[in-house]
Copies of this chain bind each other. A is one copy, B any other.
Amino acid sequence: MSNERTEISSLGEFGLIEHLTRNIELQNVSSVLGVGDDAAVIDHFGKQTVITTDLLIEGVHFDLTYTPLRHLGYKSVIVNISDVYAMNAVPTQITLSLGISNRFSLEALDEFYEGVYAACNKYGVDLVGGDTTSSQKGFIISVTAIGEAATDKFVKRSTAQKGDLLCVSGTLGAAYVGLLFLEREKKIFTESPGVQPDLENESYVIGKLLKPEARKDIVEFFSTQEIIPTSMIDVSDGLSSEILHLCKDSNLGCVLYEEKIPVAEEMKKAAYKFEIDPTACALSGGEDYELLFTIPQTEYDKLVLNEEISVVGYMTEAELGAHIITKGGGKHAITAQGWNHLK
């Protein structure tokens, strides 16, 4: 961050919006009209529009003492477009509303927007609107993402079928371990301000927390392989919680195999430093933004082409419940212990 400080109040609301949106170049033909009017106009040609929204509040969803603003801007976009991918759709536009207190400088906001635009550019998404206002306390971020799905190709949570394979992309649990590290270092720093944080060795898990990616590649893989998952959800609250969503909404049970849950070696090592079980991190941690989905067993041959996808179990009838088979052979009911922001 540079040492310059321009007071936001010196620009006025409209000056601020002009400043923040001056570099926008619309990428999609469908973005007929973007920032600068009462609303954005999106043109579709027989496709279906997908829309999703998230509200991120300082002190609840993020801690600015260890979250660089550029990363926060990036992540604010990722969190939303991950929901669009989870519909088997392609994100095309976002709107962004911010509530900002006067402790923010323009330079700080610029950093935030750099992250927003970096994510937009990487994922081919246009920022087409928003609202900027003051907040008495804390930074507030509201993102709405819009996407397109080919007609009737979108994928819900409620349509998994008995016998379907339960699959997940990437690896799980690392973001949660990253959070544990950052919270520990924050505590040490608060108690002994002279001690510099030692985070270098944990850049993997910290990176997974601070700069997650959305699984565009998986949705593209589905498209090229002509796979349509029977159900899908993104993993934002931990694997257990998301599995229970699919089971409940599809009125099914499932069997999950602990040994099949994908975890990265770096995450395992980091978890052991905290003397916690990597499986627990995968099940109950959050913010992985991987895709959890079900496919018919007949599609299995296509799946093995993609090393980024793991089959972790299968769907059963509802009466059998949702269970995990542990490495030791034990069988336990899956319980949701995901991040519940309202507790």
A→B interface (CB under 8 Å): 8-9, 11-14, 16, 32-33, 36-55, 57, 59-61, 83-84, 86-87, 89, 93, 95, 97-99, 128-138, 140, 142, 144-147, 149, 151, 154, 156-158, 232-234, 245, 249, 340-343
A48 and B42 form a contact (CB under 8 A): yes
Select A49's contact among B16, B44, B131, beta carbons within 8 Å. B44
Select from chain B the residue with minimum beta-carbon distance to A42. B49
A38 and B142 form a contact (CB under 8 A): no
Given A87-B41, A135-B60, A95 contacting B340 (CB threshold 8 A): no
* A343 CA to B57 CA, complexed, in Å: 22
Select from chain B the residue with minimum beta-carbon distance to A52. B39
* A181 CA to B151 CA, complexed, in Å: 52
What residues of B have a CB within 8 angstroms of the CB of A60 in the complex? 99, 133-136
Select from chain B the residue with minimum beta-carbon distance to A82. B38
Select from chain B the residue with minimum beta-carbon distance to A40. B51
Given A13-B340, A46-B46, A48-B32, A99 contacting B57 (CB threshold 8 A): yes
* A8 CA to B99 CA, complexed, in Å: 24
B97 and A38 form a contact (CB under 8 A): no
What residues of B have a CB within 8 angstroms of the CB of A158 in the complex? 36-37
Select from chain B the residue with minimum beta-carbon distance to A47. B44
What residues of B have a CB within 8 angstroms of the CB of A86 in the complex? 38-39
Minimum Cβ distance to chain B for residue A23 (Å): 19
For this chain, the copies found in one complex come to 2
Select A140's contact among B45, B99, B147, beta carbons within 8 Å. B99
What residues of B have a CB within 8 angstroms of the CB of A51 in the complex? 39-40, 42, 51, 93, 95, 128-129, 144, 146
What residues of B have a CB within 8 angstroms of the CB of A8 in the complex? 342
Given A154-B33, A342-B9, A142 contacting B41 (CB threshold 8 A): no
Q: Looking at A36, A98, A232, A342, which has the most chain B CB atoms within 10 Å of its CB? A: A342
Select from chain B the residue with minimum beta-carbon distance to A14. B245
B55 and A133 form a contact (CB under 8 A): yes
What residues of B have a CB within 8 angstroms of the CB of A245 in the complex? 14
What residues of B have a CB within 8 angstroms of the CB of A341 in the complex? 13, 133-134
Minimum Cβ distance to chain B for residue A234 (Å): 6
Select A53's contact among B48, B89, B142, beta carbons within 8 Å. B142
A sample of 21 inter-chain contacts (CB < 8 A) reads: A9-B343, A12-B343, A32-B154, A38-B52, A38-B84, A38-B86, A38-B233, A38-B234, A39-B50, A41-B48, A41-B49, A41-B149, A41-B154, A42-B48, A43-B151, A52-B95, A55-B97, A61-B133, A99-B140, A133-B341, A134-B342
Select A142's contact among B55, B59, B149, B343, beta carbons within 8 Å. B55
The 10 closest A-B pairs by CB, nearest first: A39-B52, A142-B142, A55-B97, A38-B83, A42-B49, A38-B86, A144-B144, A39-B50, A53-B95, A133-B341
Minimum Cβ distance to chain B for residue A37 (Å): 5
Minimum Cβ distance to chain B for residue A61 (Å): 7
